[in-house]
């Protein structure tokens, strides 16, 4: 066998034993760490057990073939040996991927922030279109989506939208969408047929709890105001909307989605924790991975990761150097070809790095 992962199985069984001990539940942080580690290892351990059993079956079948005299039985053994020998290399390749270091955020719920950046109303229009595409894609993948924050322009276009995506592995599916998305097309307001370029930013923020990101209330400026519904006719007579400002960083969160001040406050603080966490992660990434491509190429926020060229019906992901056609379908939530291609490229880069010992 190329892989001997008995120590991995032993560690997994040790984690199971820890979680079966009632004492561990006195420390919820420890429970979370152990559960996360066990969850990351589970598929690799199960696959290794199948891989190990297949190798043992291969050895047994070859030994039986060496002494078997019955021709019909020999043919059956040869077929089984051939089948196992074909499966083992496939399992080895899958194990290589499963054993790669996992992003600790991969199985977390996320906050997705889509914001118009450069290009005025055209950027706001595209921000709304891409946000809608993400929501449809998430719902097709059976994620639960909730709008958390929305800032609409006078023309009815999206200046900024934040929504929650909840279910297992949400971050792993969306993490390649972070940073600048550029769009090239003829705006609705352009009467001379000229192509304009605008840009939006997307931030994929893993959900954090109070034990992971602590917020000093002395650093928060909090205000309450009235929430307004669609068309302004559904005014809330209570001050249920929540406005937070983190004084050290200047990060602002405004949450008015619900009519409950308590719920808006909780959601606003959840968004604030996510934004503070992603800010710290960017700083760590710049320090630790400055020389290596990772989730989105370099860690420069001004770097575009993707261009949507409408006249040429072409979407280009600049990190992997790959083009995709069918923009109308992509903008209706059919993002699988792009997201899957980014995931494959990321895995390949990690495998090459591991092979080189980086």
Q: What is the pLDDT of residue 286?
A: 56
List the structure tokens of 247: 């004084």
d(CA 214, CA 276): 10
The structure tokens 């209330």 sit at 217
Per the CB < 8 A criterion, the answer to whether 113 and 162 are in contact is: yes
Beta-carbon contacts of residue 29 (< 8 Å; ≥ 6 apart):
211
* pLDDT at residue 163 is higher than 90: yes
The model's pTM is 0.74
Per the CB < 8 A criterion, the answer to whether 153 and 159 are in contact is: yes
Average pLDDT of the residues in 236-259: 77
* Greater pLDDT, 229 or 73: 73
List the structure tokens of 233: 């006719």
* pLDDT at residue 294 is higher than 80: no
Q: What is the pLDDT of residue 258?
A: 61
Assign 259 a pLDDT band (cuts: 50, 70, 90): low
Average pLDDT of the residues in 141-160: 85
Over residues 201-235, the pLDDT tens digits come to: 998 988 887 767 788 888 899 888 765 544 434 44
Q: What is the pLDDT of residue 226?
A: 63
- Residues facing residue 110 across a β-bridge: 165, 206
d(CA 295, CA 275): 17
Q: What is the pLDDT of residue 4?
A: 82
Assign 119 a pLDDT band (cuts: 50, 70, 90): confident
Average pLDDT of the residues in 108-125: 90
* pLDDT at residue 287 is higher than 60: no
Q: What is the mean pLDDT of the chain?
A: 84
Worst-scoring range by mean pLDDT, 8-12, 87-91, 249-253, 335-339?
Answer: 249-253
Do strands 144-152 and 251-255 pair parallel, antiparallel, or not at all (unpaired)?
unpaired
The helix/strand/coil state of 303 is: coil
d(CA 235, CA 264): 16
The helix/strand/coil state of 161 is: strand
Average pLDDT of the residues in 130-159: 89
* Greater pLDDT, 286 or 340: 340
d(CA 338, CA 313): 14
* Greater pLDDT, 216 or 79: 79
d(CA 4, CA 93): 14
Per the CB < 8 A criterion, the answer to whether 148 and 164 are in contact is: yes
Over residues 120-133, the pLDDT tens digits come to: 888 999 999 999 99
Beta-carbon contacts of residue 153 (< 8 Å; ≥ 6 apart):
121, 124, 159
Q: What is the pLDDT of residue 355?
A: 66
Per the CB < 8 A criterion, the answer to whether 347 and 100 are in contact is: yes
Residue 342: phi and psi, rounded to 5, are: -65, -40
* pLDDT at residue 78 is higher than 90: yes
Average pLDDT of the residues in 41-50: 92
Beta-carbon contacts of residue 227 (< 8 Å; ≥ 6 apart):
235, 236, 240, 241, 256, 257, 258, 259, 264
* pLDDT at residue 291 is higher than 80: no
Average pLDDT of the residues in 286-311: 60
Average pLDDT of the residues in 23-31: 87
d(CA 61, CA 296): 48
């Amino acid at each position: 066998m190329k892989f001997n992962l008995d120590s991995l199985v032993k560690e997994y069984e040790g984690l199971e034993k820890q979680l079966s001990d009632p004492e561990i539940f006195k420390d919820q942080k420890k429970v979370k760490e152990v559960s996360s580690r066990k969850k990351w290892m589970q598929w690799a351990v199960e696959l290794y057990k199948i891989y190990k059993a297949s190798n043992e079956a291969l050895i047994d079948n070859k030994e039986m073939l060496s002494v078997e005299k019955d021709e019909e039985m020999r043919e059956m053994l040869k077929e089984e040996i051939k089948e196992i020998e074909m499966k083992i290399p496939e399992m080895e390749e899958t194990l290589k991927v499963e054993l790669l270091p996992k992003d600790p955020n991969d199985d977390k719920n996320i906050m997705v922030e889509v914001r118009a950046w450069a290009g005025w109303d055209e950027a706001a229009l595209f921000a709304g279109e891409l946000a809608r595409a993400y929501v449809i894609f998430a719902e097709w993948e059976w994620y639960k989506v909730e709008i958390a924050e929305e800032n609409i322009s006078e023309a009815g276009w999206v200046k900024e939208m934040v929504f929650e995506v909840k279910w297992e592995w949400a971050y792993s599916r969306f993490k390649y969408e972070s940073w600048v998305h550029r769009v090239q097309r003829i705006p609705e307001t352009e009467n001379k047929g000229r192509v304009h370029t605008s840009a939006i930013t997307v931030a994929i923020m893993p959900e954090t709890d109070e034990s992971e990101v602590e917020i000093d209330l002395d650093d928060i400026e909090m205000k309450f105001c009235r929430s307004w519904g669609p068309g302004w006719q559904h005014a809330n007579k209570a001050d249920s909307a929540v406005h937070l400002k983190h004084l050290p960083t200047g990060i602002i969160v405004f949450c008015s989605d619900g009519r409950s001040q308590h719920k808006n406050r909780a959601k606003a603080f959840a968004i604030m924790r996510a934004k503070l966490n992603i800010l710290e992660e960017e700083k760590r990434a710049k320090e630790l991975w400055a020389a290596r491509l990772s989730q989105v190429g370099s860690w420069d926020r001004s770097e575009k990761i993707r261009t949507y060229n409408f006249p040429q019906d072409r979407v280009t992901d600049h990190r992997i150097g790959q083009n995709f056609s069918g923009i109308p379908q992509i903008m209706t939530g059919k993002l699988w070809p792009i997201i899957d291609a980014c995931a494959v490229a990321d895995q390949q880069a990690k495998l090459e790095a591991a092979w080189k010992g980086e």
